[in-house]
């Protein structure tokens, strides 16, 4: 369900950042799914990212890079098996882009596919929904960080339990 207020806020945030000489990019949902975590986990401990789950079985087709705009994505594959419920911290597959300002946008936990290669693309497929790394089930983790600090402001307006269509705005980065 489209959240008009969130789309409007993302557009205004994007406009507000343009004069600062840095480009702002809209982050879209990598597939249709429900936001399962944002700033904090259900336990209350800090998470500092957005988790989205399709609620389908592991291997849901077509996890896309979220940013709209042709960026160069570095794909790191740490496991090639079908992993749906975790295989240990540090074993997650990752796609990331590092911006000129030193901030890095990361997506984790997807399953390796033939499309899981380094590339420059706009909303291209990076793999299938999976659970590689330290997870309790298949989802995609989207994080914006710099020097070990996760930003939470980029996804303001996105809430736990919200359903997002493929490409619907999660937040603004860059």
How would you write the chain as a 3-class SS string? CCCHHHHHHHHHHHHHHHHHCCCCEEEECCCCEEEEECCECCCCCECCCEEEECCCCCCCCCEECCEECCEEEEEECCCCCCCCCCCCCCCCCEEEEECCCCCEEEEECCECCCCCCCEEECCCEEEECECCCCCCCCEEEEEEEECCEECCHHHCCCCCCCEECCCCEEEEEC
The count of domains in the chain is 1
Q: What is the pLDDT of residues 65-75, one digit of tens each?
A: 888 888 899 99
Give residue 95's domain range: 4-173
Q: What is the pLDDT of residues 74-87, one digit of tens each?
A: 999 999 999 999 99
Q: Find all residues with CB under 8 Å of 52, minimum gap 6, and list them.
A: 29, 30, 31, 33, 34, 35, 36, 139, 140, 142, 164, 170
* pLDDT confidence of residue 2: 55
Mean pLDDT of all residues in 166-173: 94
* pLDDT confidence of residue 15: 43
Share above pLDDT 90 across residues of the chain, in percent, rounded to a whole number: 69
pTM: 0.85
CATH of the domain at 82: 2.70.70.10
């Amino acid at each position: 369900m489209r959240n008009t207020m969130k789309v409007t806020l993302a557009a205004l945030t994007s406009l507000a950042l343009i004069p600062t000489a840095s480009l702002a990019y809209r982050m879209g949902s990598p597939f249709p799914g429900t936001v399962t975590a944002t700033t904090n986990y259900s336990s209350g401990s800090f998470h500092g990212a957005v988790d989205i789950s399709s609620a389908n079985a592991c291997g849901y087709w077509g996890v896309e890079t979220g940013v709209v705009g042709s960026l160069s994505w570095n794909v790191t594959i740490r496991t090639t098996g079908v992993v749906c419920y975790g295989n240990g911290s540090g074993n997650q597959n990752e796609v990331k882009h590092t911006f000129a300002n030193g901030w890095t946008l990361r997506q984790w936990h997807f399953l390796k596919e033939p499309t899981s290669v380094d590339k420059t693309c706009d909303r291209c497929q990076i793999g299938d929904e999976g659970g590689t790394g330290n997870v309790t089930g298949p989802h995609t983790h989207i994080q914006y960080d710099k020097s070990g600090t996760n930003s939470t402001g980029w996804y303001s307006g996105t809430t736990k339990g919200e359903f997002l269509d493929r490409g619907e705005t999660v937040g603004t980065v860059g």
